[in-house]
A and B are shown apart, each in its own frame.
Chain A
Amino acid sequence: MVEVRRSTVLNAPIEAVWEILRDFNGHERWHPAVAASRIEEGGAGDVIGAVRDFRLGDGSRIREQLLALSDQETSFAYCILEAPVMLRNYVAIVRLRPVTSERACLWQWGARFDPPAAERDRLSRFVAQDIFEAGFRSVRSLLSGAGRARAAMPRSAPPSIALAGALDAEAIVATRHGGPEVLEMRILRVAAPGPGDARIRQSAIGVNFIDVYTRTGRFDLIQPPAVLGMEAAGIVESVGPGVTSLRPGDRVGYACAPPGAYAAMRTMNAALIFPLPEFLSDEAAAAMLLKGISASFLLHDVYAVKRGDVMLVHAAAGGVGSILCRWAAALGVIVIGAVSSAEKAERARRAGCAHMIIYAEEDFAEAAMRLTAGRGVDVVYDAVGKSTFEGSVRALASRGHLVSFGQASGDVGSYSIDSLAARSVTLSRPNYGHYTDTPDKLKTQTNRLFAALRAGIIVAERPTIYGLADARAAHTDLENRNTMGSLVLIP
């Protein structure tokens, strides 16, 4: 038997909070884990013994029975009848108490259950954080008004045939190639999903530098006017004929071409969409799927790093760079991070770098040689491109490997391969799509990424949030390097 208890103080009158919580069938209005709720046999939610049937964001179901409800004690108790997780003999009690010294109330939420011994800590944490504390946050935001739009509109429409037609949704369109000013909010028709497609109601959208390149026309990925964006998270709204991997109500994410993510709703190929694990929030997923999947195949497939390898990472404080460093360090790799400032060197150190090189202070290839006593590094990860490529080759040990996966400083251009022979250097120029373009390939990467996140080997950092309508500001800030960490748009 374990007992999990959490409590919080809400700055709202107890009557207002009780009105929200009392509705045993109303958790879909506020709890982030609950996509839809109904009372079985069409009964009322305040009949003792009523059974509610929740569909969770990941498509699974939980059935819970109301055991007690007291308007006098502002409390209710319920038990789980059926759940996809091992919450046996689960009984929970919710209780509100007034804080009479101000217009506030205490909300207590506790549960007892019998977990399998091996799952005890994980399930306790799941209940405490993903059920109780996540619920506290949602009701707090609902009370503050921030969540009112969500309250008015169910987070995910029930899987109903009535929704099968085209729908209108807000989207950010690049009206032509150019600066941030070419981005405009438009209302676009989102087609009903055709065969093999799914339509997603998106809740968080990642902003990446590739979106800037797409907008300016440096990358030839769109024909304006077109919607930008490579990654997002949300709920499956409906699926087209032949789709068996997803169901309406599933909480999902994706990170891939073609662009089109900057929208409140999107119809796309269902094979590119995957379920999100419960511990990863929509915002965190949108902020890091593309970067995390990149780091996954760069470290394991393009070149398989191994314990004792010495690795040089360019732009080690950047989005992909910092994940590469943290992940490789956890795998026993000695990581040297090259960065542009002392502040970024500190970020790189926190990301697990054993050594840091600041570009302006010394020649990074010479520094890498010095740090390895003249041997050179086993592998270089270089997304800087033009300004670093030649030095990266010089930094390598004999039979070392250079992974060139980006060009932040400009295209590498033509380069004579003869100089690679001086150290028998091998070279990769990987393309994201070739590691993620089938469900099997994608699953390899997402399984690996989610396992690393779950184990705490890498961490999803809190992104900076912009409204979808503020995409122009997000691009301006990203290009001016006014931001630290990831950027996410919320429709």
Chain B
Amino acid sequence: MAKVYVSNVVAAPVGAVWAVVRNFNGLPDWTGFVVESRIEQNFPADRVGCVRNFRLKDGGRIRERLLALSDYEMSCVYSILESPMGVENYVATLRLIPVTDGDQTFVEWSAEFEAAPDREDKLVEDIGRDVFGSALAALKARFAR
């Protein structure tokens, strides 16, 4: 079982940040690497169980299922159904935590998955840096005070 964990601090109140990342269909809006996204079967993006189907800049397509969404904990859990990455049992959680000191937001993004042993380390590094890390950096820049 491989684990990825990335976190950052965004200089904005947690409500403003949650308004952006809560949208399960909103990756093109705030990450730099998703070109277009749709929710399958025309489900609302906050219906637990819905599937987002999005295309990456490099052309790859990913399908992910929303497993949990909490406005109370400001967290979102999802799994990968199909991807070009070659991962199994991939479950990720994106969570916001208020930083009361300065009214900022702590954002953490973690995932657990299985992959061929010789590819695990590389996948952990790539997902941590190019996916989660780059998305959170973009989020931080979007709210830079």
Q: Give chain A's interface residues, CB within 8 Å of chain B.
A: 5-9, 97-101, 104, 106, 108, 133, 136
Residues A7 and B106 in contact in the complex (CB < 8 Å), given A100-B8, A101-B8, A106-B99: yes
Q: Provide the bound-state CA to CA distance between A5 and B128, in Å.
A: 29
Q: Nearest chain A CB to B118's CB is how many angstroms away?
A: 25
Q: Is the CB of B106 within 8 A of A106?
A: yes
Instruction: Mark contacts of B1-40 with chain A using CB atoms, 8 A cut-off: 1 yes-contact digit, 0 otherwise.
Output: 0000111110000000000000000000000000000000
Residues A101 and B101 in contact in the complex (CB < 8 Å), given A9-B9, A9-B106, A106-B7: no
Q: Is the CB of B6 within 8 A of A9?
A: no
Residues A97 and B7 in contact in the complex (CB < 8 Å), given A7-B106, A9-B106: yes
Q: Does B41 touch A at the CB level, under 8 Å?
A: no
Q: Provide the bound-state CA to CA distance between A8 and B6, in Å.
A: 18
8 contacts between A and B (CB under 8 A): A7-B100, A7-B106, A8-B100, A9-B101, A9-B102, A98-B5, A100-B6, A106-B106
Q: Provide the bound-state CA to CA distance between A5 and B140, in Å.
A: 23
Q: Please tell me the number of chain B residues within 8 Å of chain A, measured between CB atoms.
A: 19
Q: Provide the bound-state CA to CA distance between A7 and B99, in Å.
A: 5
Q: Does B137 touch A at the CB level, under 8 Å?
A: yes
Q: Is the CB of A100 within 8 A of B7?
A: yes
Chain B residues positioned under 8 Å from A136 (CB to CB): 101
Q: Is the CB of A101 within 8 A of B106?
A: no
Q: Considering only CB atoms, which chain A residue lies closest to B104 in the complex?
A: A9
The majority secondary structure among interface residues of chain B is strand
Residues A97 and B9 in contact in the complex (CB < 8 Å), given A106-B97, A106-B99: no
Q: Considering only CB atoms, which chain B residue lies closest to A133 in the complex?
A: B101
Q: Is the CB of B97 within 8 A of A97?
A: yes
Q: Is the CB of A98 within 8 A of B7?
A: yes
Q: Is the CB of B97 within 8 A of A7?
A: yes
Q: Is the CB of B108 within 8 A of A101?
A: no
Q: Provide the bound-state CA to CA distance between A7 and B98, in Å.
A: 7
Q: Is the CB of A99 within 8 A of B137?
A: no
Q: Nearest chain B CB to A177's CB is how many angstroms away?
A: 48
Q: Is the CB of B99 within 8 A of A9?
A: yes
Q: Provide the bound-state CA to CA distance between A382 and B5, in Å.
A: 66
Instruction: Mark contacts of B86-128 with chain A using CB atoms, 8 A cut-off: 1 yes-contact digit, 0 otherwise.
Output: 0000000000011111101010100000000000000000001
Chain A residues positioned under 8 Å from B106 (CB to CB): 7, 9, 97, 99, 106
Q: Is the CB of A8 within 8 A of B7?
A: no
Q: Is the CB of B133 within 8 A of A101?
A: yes
Q: Provide the bound-state CA to CA distance between A108 and B7, in Å.
A: 15
Q: Does B66 touch A at the CB level, under 8 Å?
A: no
Q: Does B136 touch A at the CB level, under 8 Å?
A: yes
Chain B residues positioned under 8 Å from A108 (CB to CB): 97
Q: Considering only CB atoms, which chain B residue lies closest to A108 in the complex?
A: B97
Chain A residues positioned under 8 Å from B104 (CB to CB): 9
- Most chain B CB within 10 A, of A5, A8, A101, is at A101
Q: Is the CB of A101 within 8 A of B136?
A: yes
Q: Provide the bound-state CA to CA distance between A308 and B7, in Å.
A: 60
Q: Is the CB of B7 within 8 A of A99?
A: yes
Q: Considering only CB atoms, which chain A residue lies closest to B128 in the complex?
A: A100
Q: Considering only CB atoms, which chain A residue lies closest to B95 in the complex?
A: A97
Q: Nearest chain A CB to B95's CB is how many angstroms away?
A: 9
Q: Nearest chain B CB to A189's CB is how many angstroms away?
A: 44
- Most chain A CB within 10 A, of B108, B136, B140, is at B108
Q: Nearest chain B CB to A13's CB is how many angstroms away?
A: 13
Residues A6 and B101 in contact in the complex (CB < 8 Å), given A97-B106, A99-B7, A99-B106: yes
- Most chain B CB within 10 A, of A6, A7, A100, A133, is at A100
Q: Is the CB of A7 within 8 A of B6?
A: no
Q: Which one, B108, B133, B136, B140, contacts A97 given CB within 8 A?
A: B108
Q: Is the CB of A7 within 8 A of B101?
A: yes
Q: Considering only CB atoms, which chain B residue lies closest to A99 in the complex?
A: B7
The 5 closest A-B pairs by CB, nearest first: A8-B101, A101-B8, A106-B106, A6-B100, A7-B99
Q: Provide the bound-state CA to CA distance between A7 and B7, in Å.
A: 15
Chain B residues positioned under 8 Å from A7 (CB to CB): 97-101, 106
